[in-house]
């Protein structure tokens, strides 16, 4: 799935719109708490500046319902200015008069960041009129926000259908790395999955399962599977709709060659006293809550991972943000450093968790994508990638290299 990239395209003196993913966490003081997504975009931005492009950056931040000063991109602009080493301009509107004035006044190598895209209702609605307003600001479009390519929004799909479109270096790298989990991977292929959003993870399990030689399930995602097998206990003794979904999944998995490993012991907390104990899943009492995998499960998982040649990890194996219940996730991920295969992390806050636990070096590749990375690994077609022409010239290309595009009457009605 190689996509056409911006490498080698003449950009000097041209206004280049770049969709970046600066949806970063902020501190209580309103400063950027984690600038990884900003830093990851620098190779593309520096390349375009060195080639003489005039950059117009698009990003969202949070989920505002209309303009919200607490979700302004001003702190992002400030941090970007620091890491780029130049003053980045920030518009006071989104594709309005101030954005147009600033865009038209850009000189070669200068950078403009538009205010939060989601301040405008047309962004998430993929409104053709709003997409047209954004597209009118530039001459070329570069998709660099891999974390948003699963969304059919104005800034990911709408603009791309109006301007010559290319992948940035980050998107190129993400596609190349994650494609190794879809085809041509080395076996054994083992997926290590955790987290709490059980219903959201079922499509990932369905997509990954037939490809893997082993699915290792921990965290809350394992609980309905334990219940479906009759091994559940504690406050989960009552049936749940998820139990039936898990039961159906287990039935379908019998046709696969791989195996599914579930926790054989767990760390629980007694709710009234706060006391912790290690129990088998069946032994968990009604007043106890499961918060981590136990030592036998850690050894079981590490043994299954030891011979793997491809490993995919997503989600903690317990309540890993609490130091009392982080041992299971930390020990298993630390053990990945001894695996001689291709080790990939993707989805949600997995990268930040790995960094907090000191195990980031256990991975060969850490994706910047959350839902986009998971949907890619599931095997879905992502709208923000579909609109980028393939490297061989195939793909959804409704615009040519000169910057011409379909007439406004065709594209914005």
Interval 241-285: pLDDT, tens: 777 888 888 888 888 878 999 999 999 999 889 899 999 999 999
Domains 15-175+382-411 and 183-378 belong to one CATH topology: yes
The correct answer on CATH 3.30.230.10 for the domain covering 183-378 is no
Candidate list 14, 100, 197, 306, residue with the active-site label:
197
- Domain 15-175+382-411 in CATH: superfamily? Phosphoglycerate kinase, N-terminal domain (3.40.50.1260)
147 is catalytic: no
Which among 37, 102, 298, 343 is annotated as catalytic? 37
Task: Decide the pairing of beta strands 140-143 and 15-19.
Answer: parallel
Q: Which of 138, 294, 348, 370 is catalytic?
A: 348
Catalytic residue among 52, 109, 371, 395: 371
Check: CB of residue 312 under 8 Å from CB of residue 344: yes
209 is a catalytic site residue: no
Catalytic: 37?
yes
Residue 393's pLDDT is 61
Alpha helices in 109-168 (DSSP H): 128-135
Hey, how many other C-beta atoms are within 10 angstroms of the C-beta on 409? 7
DSSP-assigned letter for residue 156: I
Q: How many whole angstroms separate alpha carbon 361 and alpha carbon 377?
A: 21
- From first to last of the 413 residues of the chain, give the pLDDT tens digit: 689 999 999 999 999 999 999 999 999 999 999 898 999 999 999 999 999 999 999 999 999 999 999 999 999 999 999 999 999 999 999 999 999 999 999 999 999 999 999 999 999 999 999 999 999 999 999 999 999 999 999 999 999 999 999 999 999 999 999 999 998 899 999 999 998 777 778 888 888 888 999 999 999 899 988 988 877 665 544 556 777 888 888 888 888 878 999 999 999 999 889 899 999 999 999 889 999 999 999 999 999 999 999 999 999 999 999 999 999 999 999 999 989 889 999 876 787 888 888 888 999 999 988 889 999 998 899 999 999 999 876 444 444 444 444 333 333 22
Catalytic residue check, 395: no
Please compute, for residue 218, the number of CA atoms within 13 A of its CA located in the half-sphere on the CB side. 34
Residue 322 structure tokens: 């609490």
Query: Per-domain residue ranges for the chain?
Result: 15-175+382-411, 183-378
């Amino acid at each position: 799935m190689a996509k056409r990239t911006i490498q080698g395209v003449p950009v000097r003196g041209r206004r280049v719109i770049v969709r970046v993913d600066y949806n970063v966490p902020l501190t209580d003081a309103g400063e950027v708490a984690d600038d990884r997504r900003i830093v990851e975009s620098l190779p593309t931005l520096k390349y375009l500046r060195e080639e003489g492009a005039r950059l117009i950056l698009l990003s969202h931040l949070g989920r505002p319902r209309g303009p919200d000063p607490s979700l302004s991109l001003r702190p992002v602009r400030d941090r970007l200015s620091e890491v780029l080493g130049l003053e980045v301009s920030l518009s006071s509107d989104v594709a309005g008069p101030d954005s147009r004035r600033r865009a038209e006044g850009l000189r070669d190598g200068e950078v403009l960041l538009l205010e939060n895209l989601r301040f405008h209702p047309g962004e998430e609605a993929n409104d053709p009129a709003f997409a047209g307003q954004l597209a009118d600001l530039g001459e070329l479009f570069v998709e660099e926000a891999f974390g948003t390519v699963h969304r059919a929004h104005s800034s990911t799909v709408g603009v791309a259908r109006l301007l010559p479109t290319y992948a940035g270096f980050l998107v190129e790298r993400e596609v190349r790395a994650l494609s190794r989990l879809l085809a041509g991977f080395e076996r054994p292929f083992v997926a290590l999955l955790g987290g709490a959003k059980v219903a959201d993870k079922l499509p990932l399990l369905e997509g990954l399962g037939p490809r893997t030689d082993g699915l290792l399930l921990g965290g809350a995602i394992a609980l309905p599977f334990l219940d479906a097998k009759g091994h559940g206990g504690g406050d989960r003794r009552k049936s749940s709709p998820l139990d039936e979904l898990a039961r159906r999944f287990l039935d379908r998995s019998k046709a696969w060659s791989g195996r599914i490993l579930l926790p054989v012991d767990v760390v629980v907390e007694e709710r009234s006293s706060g006391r912790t104990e290690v129990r088998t899943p069946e032994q968990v009492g009604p007043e106890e809550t499961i918060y981590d995998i136990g030592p036998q499960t850690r050894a079981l998982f590490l043994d299954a991972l030891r011979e793997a040649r491809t490993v995919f990890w997503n989600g903690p194996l317990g309540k890993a943000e609490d130091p009392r219940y982080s041992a299971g996730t930390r020990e298993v991920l630390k053990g990945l450093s001894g695996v001689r295969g291709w080790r990939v992390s993707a989805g949600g806050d997995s990268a930040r968790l790995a960094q907090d636990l000191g195990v980031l070096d256990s991975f060969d590749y850490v994706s910047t994508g959350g839902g986009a990375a998971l949907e890619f690994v599931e095997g879905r077609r992502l709208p923000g990638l579909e609109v980028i022409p393939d490297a061989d010239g195939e793909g959804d290309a409704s615009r040519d290299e000169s910057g011409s595009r379909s007439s406004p009457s065709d594209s914005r009605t």
